[in-house]
Structure 1
């Protein structure tokens, strides 16, 4: 694929998307990134030192079914690759439909319909950022006999998912991804592009552009950030699930459209299981300056926690992508090192 290929990245200011944009630029692609406001667009350009290979477009509300029309009216003839990363990932919501479900689904529909209207003969590959949330209904996540694969789907419905923010978020990713595959089936004679989806688990790892003044990080990174800033008596939320490093997620987004064998595939991005206790053990072992200041929990019990409940088999994805994922210790150590360095810069 030509190094002059133009790639459109929706939601280009996000945690994952920034790493994706960085890899694209390093590999010689031309990038058009969308953000919600002129201010965010300006910040994005500044972060990449006004690299001439990146430009921006404002898409203020992905809930609008015509949200991406103007982008593709303007650039549809040149865009060859679309990476749709924009989707809400937050739990402090008041209106489940308005804040999570509708933006996720309409955002996916609007970008695909814009391609159909204005880029049907130029866009060749589309990659949609989905989530393990689209593979599992969290109401059944504690089943020890449940093994998720690339063929697994969350069976939540629009009506029964609206019980709590986590269940709604998981459902939003499910409905958005299903909308993408439905679009392919319904429009196979009208568009030339092939679709791939990437389904990361909890995404950790360093920020591409650390901001020392920023006290709170993105939703997943904040889990580690809170541990670093906890005192030894803090009662931490006990989480467990699958993990993946953001640098591997970015790499997978590029391979998803670069490798022919990844076309029409769901790529399950899972590097292993984690529990909050694993984070505590690694941080206490590897950062002497935090030892005695942060909680210790019950050292060594992480495996007891992660051995229960659902497991993930993504051997198919690993074979398709063809690279080893970053391990938990390296992921956590790099994250914590960056957080501590940011603290030193503010002192």
Structure 2
């Protein structure tokens, strides 16, 4: 039988009781947790019943990532320099458009820019390293000279990551959870750079072919826990790891909703959480919008629901709209002074 997991039942507001525990050291708090165990019904317990290791994981402040303090929500802007990404393929396909798009995101409030030269949308195929580097590197080089905003390289390949880091990237975001290329984790450890580890099931070409889980929430949690342990053993500190449950990567629409309802569970990993839902298919289905580029309202709604459970980073296409929504979310919950420096 697997060990129990504990999901904090997150709250905010002025009614915080004296014994409430702070969620990851921030303004959100919890007094109770949901105990989750395979083949057992969930149980609600007082937070005082938490095992010591879980209490520490859920309450410890998350250190800065790539120079960004995580004391307020952060926005990662998506820049796909590819011809075939699911929602914006080709929009930033040439250098000029990519550079202008990235600078516009920075001006609109992006705290980080995530640049990807290979599409990993459902049904996509891998491309060669040289082609991926040729797409991403010129943009990274230019942006690292023109802005101090941290740059993330979205890649599964050590050769691509090394070139991107040399060009000025500050974080490596791997949708394969560092399982695609065995050389990537040691590279990141040697360079001392933070990483984002994302859960996916299968490779992009086949991941949406009838994905199945025994318990999607616990299966994804356990898989991420295993991958994070391997990264830590490779020399990457837990404090330098973002965890992403991989919404839409080897999941049905119902799987996605289950993960989103209980995303607070992933604080138990002891890492900051990144949530990437922007323009994805389940938003199109439940939001009744076939056009990916018109899914900003639904993407923002889901993102704010994630913030309410303590998610620290939102990965989005629509930066200006998301930044405005986040500022209002902060103002409503925590007061206008909380967004003075945003």
TM-score category of the 2 structures, normalised to the smaller one: 0.3 to 0.5
TM-score by length of 2: 0.35
TM-score by length of 1: 0.35
Structure label with greater radius of gyration: 1
